[in-house]
Amino acid sequence: MRGYLIRRLLQAVVVLWAAFTVSFVVLHLLPGDALSIRLGGLEGTATPQQIDAVRAANGLDDPVYVQYAHALGDVLTGDLGRSAQTGAPVARTIADALPQTLALTGCAMLAAVLGGTAVALAATFTRLRALRQVLLSLPALGISMPGFWVGLLLVQVVSFQWRLLPAMGNDGFESLVLPAITLALPAGALIAQVLAKSMTTALAEPYVETARAKGVGRVRIHLRHALRNASLPALTLAAVVSGNLLVEATVVETVFSRAGVGRLTAAAVDNQDVAMVQGVVLLAAVVFVVVALVTDLLYPLLDPRVGRTV
């Protein structure tokens, strides 16, 4: 197990380095930079010499490889730099916005897992063919609906017409409900689709037939035998989805005017704020790495056979 953890940690380091490098290269391939955008309004008051001096002070006139080396060295020392737009430390800005996004993605992930599991279990447990077909068609419908469209529809109907929940803001739990549903719908649909397929396969296995022959009840077979063996693919997908929620929060937080990492990312990309974008990319990479590691450690608890190969 120790060797496995060391390998995973080394892989995590490579993933973080690759995420940082790719984001650095992509952002530097874009025309212009954050400083040029910020100085654009000073064209009538600042001389070219003054603008060049500011660029030199920020290291933007250095070769790209020198800028990369400096940026990577700062990250290795825990310094994510300062926002080119606001001048505030990137790490502190992200830390201030992170709690709101974690609350949103946490609620969305909980709703997605509970809803997706419930649909999959109901679809594979019912003996009514029509109901089964309806339940199995729900995941495909949920996946096909764009998140921004769902969010706008919920705002229009639930907030503006029914006046049940707030349409925007970060004011308490009520303001979390609609954004969480918007995020949870496609994630829960994916989990339901994969889990339902795995449950169908598991229920056709010989050990289930043996349990039925011994007189084990349907509920116990469904929940104790089939679900435990069918949950591994769904668990893997849930891990991937939980990481994607941080990315998808960019659209949802914009639609619902919520302050968080998502809106911070959108503003940083619009302004080509390299330091801020790289900080968010590193955060997303850390989330993916941690979730993948936790998921791998959970596998042996669900299937002891997996632990023998670790």
Question: 3-state SS string over the chain?
Answer: CHHHHHHHHHHHHHHHHHHHHHHHHHHHHCCCCHHHHHHHHHCCCCCHHHHHHHHHHCCCCCCHHHHHHHHHHHHHCCCCCECCCCCCEHHHHHHHHHHHHHHHHHHHHHHHHHHHHHHHHHHHHCCCHHHHHHHHHHHHHHHHCCHHHHHHHHHHHHHHHCCCCCCCCCCCCHHHHHHHHHHHHHHHHHHHHHHHHHHHHHHCCHHHHHHHHCCCCHHHHHHHHHHHHHHHHHHHHHHHHHHHHHHHHHHHHHHCCCCCHHHHHHHHHHCCCHHHHHHHHHHHHHHHHHHHHHHHHHHHHHCHHHHCCC
pLDDT band (50, 70, 90) for residue 115:
very high
The candidate with the shortest Cα–Cα distance to 21, out of 92, 94, 76, 96, is: 76
pLDDT in tens, 131-153: 999 999 999 999 888 888 999 99
Cα 124 from Cα 222, distance rounded (Å): 9
- pLDDT of the residue at 247: 80
pLDDT surpassing 50 at residue 37: yes
- pLDDT of the residue at 43: 47
Residue range 279-296: mean pLDDT, rounded: 85
pLDDT in tens, 5-16: 788 788 888 988
Q: When comparing pLDDT for 262 and 39, which is higher? A: 262
Cα 71 from Cα 294, distance rounded (Å): 30
* pTM exceeds 0.85: no
pLDDT surpassing 80 at residue 4: no
- pLDDT of the residue at 193: 94
Residue 118 amino acid letter:
A
pLDDT surpassing 90 at residue 53: no
pLDDT band (50, 70, 90) for residue 42:
very low
Strand partners, 82: 89
The residue ranges of every structural domain in the chain are: 2-76, 94-307
- pLDDT of the residue at 36: 61
- pLDDT of the residue at 292: 81
User: Is 93 in contact with 264 (CB distance < 8 Å)?
Assistant: yes
pLDDT in tens, 238-285: 888 887 888 888 889 988 989 899 888 888 888 778 788 888 888 888
Strand partners, 191: none
Name which of 93-97, 160-164, 290-294 the model is least confident about: 290-294
Cα 94 from Cα 91, distance rounded (Å): 5
pLDDT in tens, 193-239: 999 999 999 999 998 989 988 889 999 999 888 998 888 888 888 88
The CATH number of domain 94-307, selected from 3.40.50.300, 3.90.420.10, 3.30.56.10, 1.10.3720.10 = 1.10.3720.10
Work out the mean pLDDT of the chain and round it to a whole number: 84
pLDDT band (50, 70, 90) for residue 168:
confident
- pLDDT of the residue at 35: 62
pLDDT in tens, 59-89: 667 788 888 898 888 888 888 888 877 778 9
- pLDDT of the residue at 239: 84
pLDDT surpassing 80 at residue 44: no
pLDDT band (50, 70, 90) for residue 310:
low
Residue range 163-191: mean pLDDT, rounded: 91
